[in-house]
Amino acid sequence: MRRTARFLTLATALVVVAPSAPAHADGARTTGASAGGTVMAFSQVSRRCDFSETDYNGPTGDGRPIGTIYSDGSTITADVEILTAKPNMRYDVRLIQLPRSSAAPCWGGDPGVAQGEVFTDPAGAARITLSDAIEPWATGAWIWITRPDAFSQNPAEFYTTDFVAQI
């Protein structure tokens, strides 16, 4: 019992003391590692294409996504990973450049939008990399993850980034 308590105390101290890696808005990626870029945290907030929040849409899922947005000045890339989501399900992932009119759509193929789909494995994990040319008008970007609903036009599950990454 004492050994376990000492181990947990030591592990907690190491986590608290460990330095965190800085997140840079721009930076070159290195193969197999996340160097540079902006780390994007997600929450279950439904948003419109202009990044404004919608009303009356509560959280519906248990997924834990995280992403990183990189820019080299002409291309924007997002690495997105989701864990503990619904197993064996399809999720749509969009990288959306801003500013954008609230009337402008943001589906794959629209200017400033890169879209892809992922299928979670039996543990509920999936990973995708999206890339797009930076539009001349773009100053920022964000990520939107949705799981389609068979019986509604509203997504069955959604996750959006908490802030807009500057390009």
User: 139 pLDDT band (50/70/90 cuts)?
Assistant: very high
Q: Rounded CA gap, 21 and 128, in Å?
A: 22
pLDDT in tens, 27-73: 444 433 445 799 999 999 989 999 998 888 777 889 999 999 999 99
Domains and CATH numbers, the chain: 21-166 (2.60.40.2550)
Q: Rounded CA gap, 75 and 83, in Å?
A: 27
pLDDT at 26 over 90: no
pLDDT in tens, 93-107: 999 999 998 889 999
User: 152 pLDDT band (50/70/90 cuts)?
Assistant: confident
Percent of the chain past pLDDT 70, that is, above it, reads 79
pLDDT at 75 over 50: yes
**pLDDT for 3:** 53
Place of tokens 């949705």: 146
Alpha carbon separation from 146 to 1, 44, 47 (Å, rounded):
45, 10, 11
